[in-house]
């Protein structure tokens, strides 16, 4: 059969099925399409558009009818150019700031820190949009049977509608294999139904033109910002291929008439090479990407793209149950999520998180920023960069447990960069060895106190990044990764060994000045000494550096020095309200924002594991009391953190309650983007991690199965998850209890398995497959045949 005819038949047939429930009857995806977002109208605003990404290039597809907007991003396109933001007054100012903190003169200390420690300029550079690809379709009106969708499994956005007797189909994807965004415009008409005018627009300083008769070209330079000149050059090329019809070229656009089929290939590149080098040739890169992709047919481009995407995406499947609500359009499911019983929406949210991480954090690209790679504003909220006091780390909580461990690689490279620029800050600010990073960084890897001392005087960003990277090692147990990570850990320890100072009242080693991220202990004042999170992060950094040093057989002398310092860190304290203290002093109940979005002092519960119900029940009780005092409502990412924390406390219904809050309008946009508000991707990725924590937890040398399974998910299954120690986990449950789990060992190790109140110790050898069941006698393990 002619492939074009078979394609038209498929377009005409569609994929709709009738819905036979009490809900309104409409065409809906088949139940098998559990990984589909779909809508009955085009996007009218950015947070309704559907995201595509190949790790480096991002696109937002609006699904318009008479006109279409494809908003474009490239992950290295930032304002500014390489710069040094260190404040030359820091070396002299820090000792005086420290003295003021010891004297309890916190306002004066913070004011002096603003003058002497905050970077110059105080603000960092903003992530920038490239612009828009605009498509205008003359004669398109009175559309019927409209539907647009995003297939998470196929990583393709589709818009389909009928004009009179002709069904029009528009498809788009972002290919990691071919480094382009590809679009196809087609129909089931015998011929000549595609009429479109193509143009590019941009808010940047740029020129737009047409090269030859088949390529739109946009080239320009990023803006300057905060006194730093712009310097990153970029080029976008849109190459046109068509079957049939005719094509005419205007000064800055291309008009296609009566074509049977049109394929557009979009390539974008910048001059960015490294944080200190923006001397690349974007034109050469974009031309090469277009030339390589142009040599392939649409089926070949699509097949290569989907094979690579599915290599990652199909590692995990999840089924939490299904109700008639799953047959509603996605925006309606979100709008009614507070009232609907819709377990499949949580499963879709989980897989959407995995889809987003695959789309915005591939090896060789930038790590996922505050908005992943999707941003339409030249002045985005919080510069859409990397916030290191929770948000950048939260972006990667999902990765390893969701079997996407290789997507952590961009975070490792960013940390390696910060270990270079952070040496400058360690010397300048503290007179210390090693490296330091504060609460923000940008493309140029600034490791300085950003914005103001109220928010930025937090020298623990490097420690938290290293904790996240250690978690990746702990899941995979890759010796090569550990060898690459260890020098960063050792150098960070050198900084803290030099910067820690004895508390004058107790002699315990603390960081001064510091803060508990973004939370004030008195009105307008956050600067302090020795907040709980500092000690929690340092306990992990020091213990893990000692462990890595031992495994690698390196630096025994440094190991002993680190151990001695670790023994002098303050322990976690329980305050007068029974809460885990956030600060060295018992200020929690008098703090001006008792419901603050951050819960930094609960790092030790999650993502850390220093506090657990089994090993430290008194501290776990205090952590729970802190959560109760804080309250459940928060920003989108704040809700995501709370889901994980309640799950760690085995509070299944409380975790589910907060998840329901996260999925409601006001915290989830119609396209399922997280609403801080505005959009921040950390809520998506942290929320998906929370769903995973409700099903499987891996910490404290223990694998906990179904620790926070809510009653509204009584039966289900999940396959392909990962646990620490390089263990694969598949499980299914029925009647709210474990039916079976199958563990696959990637390395040798001992593991303690828990489910409800039962526990079992097993020894695994690489290649083992072990079935775990839960019966009247408790947990039982049976070894399965290998292979």
Long-range contacts of 4-10 (CB under 8 A, 24+ apart): 4/260, 4/261, 7/186, 8/187, 8/188, 8/189, 9/188
389 backbone dihedrals φ, ψ, rounded to 5°: -95, 10
Give how far Cα 734 sits from Cα of 340, 577, 739, 743, Å: 22, 40, 6, 18
Residues in CB range of 645: below 8 A, 6 or more apart: 599, 602, 605, 606, 623, 627
What pLDDT does residue 787 have? 67
> Is the pLDDT reported for residue 7 higher than 50?
no
Q: Which of 527, 78, 484, 62 is nearest to 274 (CA)?
A: 78
Summarised one tens digit per residue, pLDDT across range 503-557 is 999 999 999 999 999 999 999 999 999 999 999 999 999 999 999 999 999 999 9
What confidence score (pLDDT) does residue 17 get?
A: 24
pLDDT in tens, 667-699: 999 999 999 999 999 999 999 999 999 999 999
Give the model confidence (pLDDT) of 222-255 as tens digits: 999 999 999 999 999 999 999 999 999 988 899 9
Looking up tokens 């277009």 gives 290
pLDDT band at 198 (very low <50, low <70, confident <90, very high): very high
Residues pairing with 741 in the sheet: 731, 772
Please count the other Cβ atoms lying within 10 Å of the Cβ belonging to residue 312: 20
Q: Residue 310: which residues within 8 A CB-CB, separation 6 or more?
A: 153, 154
% of residues, the chain, pLDDT over 70: 96
Contact 410, 363 (CB under 8 A): yes
Task: Confirm if 437 and 422 have CB atoms less than 8 A apart.
Answer: yes
Question: CA-CA distance, 187 to 171, in Å (whole number)?
Answer: 11
CA dihedral 184, 187, 189, 195 (to 10 degrees): -60
Q: Are 60 and 46 in contact (CB under 8 A)?
A: yes
Backbone angles phi and psi of 162, in degrees to 5:
-120, 135
Q: Count the neighbouring beta carbons within 10 Å of the beta carbon of residue 279.
A: 10
Rounded Cα gap, residues 63 and 170, in angstroms: 8
Task: Enumerate domains of the chain plus CATH numbers.
Answer: 34-78+126-313 (2.70.98.50), 341-691 (1.50.10.10)
| Cα–Cα distance for residue pair 312/351, rounded to 1 Å | 11
Angle at 31 between CA 28 and CA 36, to 5 degrees: 70
Task: For 246, list phi and psi in degrees, rounded to 5.
Answer: -145, 165
Tokens 């939490």 appear where?
Answer: 320
Euclidean distance between CA atoms 624 and 654, whole angstroms: 11
User: How are strands ordered across the β-sheet holding 737-745?
Assistant: 317-319, 716-723, 727-734, 737-745, 769-775, 778-784
Tens digits of residue pLDDT in 543-599: 999 999 999 999 999 999 999 999 999 999 999 999 999 999 999 999 999 999 999
R_g of the chain, CA atoms, integer Å: 27
For 461-474, give the DSSP string: HHHHHHHHHHHHHH
Query: So what's the pLDDT on residue 9?
Result: 35
Q: Which residues contact 104 (CB under 8 A, 6 or more apart)?
A: none
Residue with structure tokens 């940008």?
442
Instruction: Report whether 515 contacts 526 (CB < 8 A).
Output: yes
**CB–CB of 633/640 below 8 Å?**
no
CA 639, 645, 650, 654: dihedral to nearest 10 degrees? -20
Give the residue carrying structure tokens 């960081």.
Answer: 511
Label residue 241 exposed, middle or buried (CB < 10 Å: 0-12, 13-18, 19+).
middle
Polymer length in residues for the chain: 787
pTM summary value: 0.95
Token output for 420: 């270079």
């Amino acid at each position: 059969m002619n492939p074009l005819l078979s394609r038209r038949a498929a377009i005409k047939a569609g994929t709709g099925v009738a819905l036979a429930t009490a809900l309104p009857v409409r065409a809906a995806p088949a139940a098998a399409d559990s990984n589909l977002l779909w809508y009955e109208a085009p996007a009218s605003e950015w947070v309704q558009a559907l995201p595509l990404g190949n790790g480096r290039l991002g696109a937002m597809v609006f699904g318009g009818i008479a006109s279409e907007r494809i908003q474009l991003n490239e992950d290295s396109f930032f304002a500014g150019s390489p710069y040094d933001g260190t404040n030359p007054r820091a070396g002299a100012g820090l000792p005086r700031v420290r003295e003021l903190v010891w004297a309890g003169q916190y306002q004066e200390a913070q004011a002096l820190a603003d003058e002497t420690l905050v970077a110059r300029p105080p603000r960092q550079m903003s992530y920038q949009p490239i612009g828009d690809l605009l498509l205008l379709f003359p004669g398109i009106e009175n559309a019927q049977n409209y539907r647009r969708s995003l297939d998470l499994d196929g990583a393709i956005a589709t818009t389909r509608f009928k004009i009179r007797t002709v069904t029009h189909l528009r498809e788009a994807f972002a290919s990691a294999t071919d480094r382009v965004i590809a679009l196809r415009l087609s129909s089931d008409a015998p011929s000549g139904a595609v009429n479109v005018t193509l143009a590019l627009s941009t808010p940047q300083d740029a020129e737009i033109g047409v090269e030859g008769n088949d390529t739109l070209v946009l080239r320009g330079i990023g803006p300057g910002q905060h006194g730093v000149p712009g310097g990153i050059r970029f080029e976008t090329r849109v190459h046109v291929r068509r079957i049939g019809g005719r094509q005419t070229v205007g000064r800055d656009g291309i008009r296609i008439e009566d074509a049977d089929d049109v394929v557009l290939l979009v390539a974008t590149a910048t001059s960015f090479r490294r944080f200190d080098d923006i001397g690349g040739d974007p034109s050469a890169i974009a031309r090469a990407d277009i030339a390589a992709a142009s040599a392939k047919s649409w089926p070949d481009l699509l097949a290569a793209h989907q094979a690579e995407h599915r290599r990652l995406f199909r590692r995990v499947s999840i089924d939490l149950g299904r109700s008639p609500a799953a047959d509603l359009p996605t925006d309606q499911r979100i709008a009614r999520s507070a009232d609907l019983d819709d377990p499949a929406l949580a499963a879709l949210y989980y897989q959407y998180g995995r889809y987003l991480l695959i789309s915005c954090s591939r090896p060789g690209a930038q790590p996922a920023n505050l908005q992943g790679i999707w941003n339409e504003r030249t002045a985005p909220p919080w510069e859409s960069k990397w916030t290191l006091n929770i948000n950048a780390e939260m972006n990667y909580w999902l990765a390893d447990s969701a079997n996407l461990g290789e997507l952590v690689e961009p975070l490792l490279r960013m940390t390696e960069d910060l270990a270079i620029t952070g040496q400058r800050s360690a010397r300048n600010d503290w007179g210390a060895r090693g490296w330091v990073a504060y609460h923000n960084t940008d493309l140029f890897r600034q490791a300085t106190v950003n914005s103001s001392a109220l928010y930025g005087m937090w020298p623990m960003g490097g420690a938290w990044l290293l904790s996240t990277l250690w978690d990746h090692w702990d899941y995979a147990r890759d010796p090569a990764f550990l060898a690459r990570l260890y020098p960063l850990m050792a150098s960070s320890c050198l900084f803290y060994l030099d910067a820690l100072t004895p508390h004058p009242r107790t002699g315990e080693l603390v960081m001064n000045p510091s803060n508990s991220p973004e939370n004030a202990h008195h009105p307008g004042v956050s600067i302090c000494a020795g907040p709980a999170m500092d000690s929690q992060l340092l306990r992990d950094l020091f213990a893990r550096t000692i462990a890595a040093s031992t495994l690698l057989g390196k630096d025994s002398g440094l190991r002993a020095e680190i151990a001695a310092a670790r023994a002098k860190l303050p322990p976690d304290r329980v305050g007068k309200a029974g809460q885990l203290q956030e600060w060295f002093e018992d200020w929690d109940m008098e703090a001006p924002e008792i419901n603050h979005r951050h819960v930094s002092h609960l790092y030790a519960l999650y993502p850390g594991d220093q506090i657990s119900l089994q090993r430290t029940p008194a501290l776990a009780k205090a952590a729970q009391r802190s959560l109760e005092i804080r309250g459940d409502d928060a920003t989108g990412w704040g809700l995501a953190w709370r889901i994980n924390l309640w799950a760690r406390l085995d509070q299944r219904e409380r975790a589910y309650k907060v998840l329901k809050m996260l999925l409601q309008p006001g915290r989830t946009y119609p396209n399922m983007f997280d609403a801080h508000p505005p959009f921040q991707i950390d809520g998506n990725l942290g929320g998906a991690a929370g769903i995973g924590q409700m099903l499987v937890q891996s910490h404290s040398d223990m694998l906990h199965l179904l620790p926070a399974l809510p009653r509204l998910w009584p039966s289900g299954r999940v396959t392909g998850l990962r646990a620490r120690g390089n263990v694969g986990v598949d499980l299914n449950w029925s009647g709210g209890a474990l039916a079976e789990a199958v563990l696959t060992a990637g390395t040798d190790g001992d593991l303690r398995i828990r489910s409800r109140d039962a526990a079992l110790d097993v020894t695994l050898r690489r290649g083992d497959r072990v079935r775990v069941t839960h019966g009247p006698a408790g947990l039982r393990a049976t070894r399965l045949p290998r292979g």
